């Protein structure tokens, strides 16, 4: 350490691992209210997207009961942000400074949230089905075949080769099983607490009152050797 770098204050560090959340699929979802002001929101498209969102929820057995009035046309009033777990490099900690003491908590996982927009897939499938129906109704079989000509049948031999090996097939089945498990798992509602609502009641669980001294068993050379 540089001799001129003066230590202004020493802060005790408390470590706790009691705070953890491990859902089965390790997926989180945040519903962000949409800005429905007329100057920035298309009401007609909002109702169209709302129908797609409702159909998507029903298809995945995730329709929320009691939402919306009976007979009211559904509309998209929120943007759903779903998490994707990010691979962590090293150990990450959350530090909270309280009463001149730094309380450290390990971060079990880090998630990146992105808009789901799954209702667009539903609308796209509906649009494709409508186009297919229209093309079938407008199709023309053409003139009748000439009775004087006969089609010569040719025998074609096709040799089929296995494209997907057993391991690849098992991997595909595993991926489908994971997707089904995510869709079938019920959502567990979490309560969001801002900086004023029940602040002290929720933060008291972060404080550690143990005064056991921790000893570091590694030094900077350990990290340098890993790199």
Give a yes or no: residue 12 inside a domain.
no
DSSP E strands, 71-203: 78-86, 93-98, 101-106, 110-115
| Burial per residue of 61-70, b for 16 or more beta-carbon CB atoms within 10 angstroms, e otherwise | eeeeeeeeee
Highest mean pLDDT among 66-80, 90-104, 181-195: 90-104
pLDDT in tens, 184-225: 777 777 766 655 656 666 677 777 777 778 788 888 787 776
pLDDT in tens, 149-159: 555 555 555 44
Give a yes or no: residue 2 inside a domain.
no
Give a yes or no: residue 119 inside a domain.
yes
CB 77 within 8 A of CB 54: no
Q: Decide if pLDDT at 8 tops 80.
A: yes
The span from the CA of 84 to the CA of 178, in Å, is 14
Q: What is the mean pLDDT of residues 123-151?
A: 68
CB 141 within 8 A of CB 73: no
Give a yes or no: residue 85 inside a domain.
yes
Q: Decide if pLDDT at 30 tops 70.
A: yes
Which residues does residue 105 pair with via DSSP β-bridges, in sequence order? 94
What is the pLDDT, as a whole number, of residue 19?
46
What is the pLDDT, as a whole number, of residue 196?
62
Q: Which residue has the tokens 């001294």?
A: 213
Distance of alpha carbon 73 from the chain centroid: 27
The span from the CA of 21 to the CA of 25, in Å, is 11
Q: What is the mean pLDDT of residues 24-30?
A: 80
Identify the band that residue 143 occupies on the pLDDT scale cut at 50, 70 and 90.
low
Q: What is the mean pLDDT of residues 120-126?
A: 87
CB 54 within 8 A of CB 68: no
Q: Which residue has the tokens 């945040």?
A: 30
Q: What is the mean pLDDT of residues 12-33?
A: 69
Structural domain of 144: 18-225
Distance from the first to the final alpha carbon of the chain: 22
Give a yes or no: residue 13 inside a domain.
no
Give a yes or no: residue 5 inside a domain.
no
* Torsion 131-132-137-138 (CA) sign: positive
- What is the number of domains present in the chain? 1
Give a yes or no: residue 61 inside a domain.
yes
Give a yes or no: residue 187 inside a domain.
yes
Average pLDDT, the chain: 74
Length in residues, the chain = 227
What is the pLDDT, as a whole number, of residue 78?
84
What is the pLDDT, as a whole number, of residue 150?
52
Residues contacting 102, CB < 8 A, separation 6+ = 11, 12, 13, 14, 95, 96
């Amino acid at each position: 350490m540089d001799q001129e770098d003066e230590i202004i204050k020493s802060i005790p560090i408390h470590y706790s691992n009691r705070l953890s959340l491990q859902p089965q699929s390790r997926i989180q979802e945040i519903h962000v209210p949409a800005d429905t002001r007329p100057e920035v929101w298309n009401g007609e498209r909002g109702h169209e997207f709302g129908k797609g969102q409702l159909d998507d929820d029903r298809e995945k057995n995730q329709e929320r009961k009691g939402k919306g009035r009976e007979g009211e046309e559904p509309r998209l009033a929120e943007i759903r942000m779903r998490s994707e777990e990010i691979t962590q490099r090293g150990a990450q900690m959350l530090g909270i400074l309280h009463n001149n003491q730094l309380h450290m908590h390990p971060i079990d996982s880090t998630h990146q949230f992105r808009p789901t927009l799954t209702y667009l897939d539903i609308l796209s499938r509906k649009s494709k089905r409508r186009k297919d129906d229209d093309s079938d109704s407008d199709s023309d079989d053409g003139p009748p075949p000439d009775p004087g000509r006969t089609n010569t049948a040719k025998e074609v031999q096709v040799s089929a080769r296995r494209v997907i090996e057993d391991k690849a097939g098992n991997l595909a089945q595993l991926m489908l099983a994971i997707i089904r498990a995510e869709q079938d798992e019920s959502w567990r509602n979490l309560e969001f607490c801002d900086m004023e609502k029940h602040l002290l009641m929720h933060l008291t669980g972060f404080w550690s009152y143990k005064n056991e001294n921790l000893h570091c068993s590694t030094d900077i050379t350990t990290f340098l050797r890993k790199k």
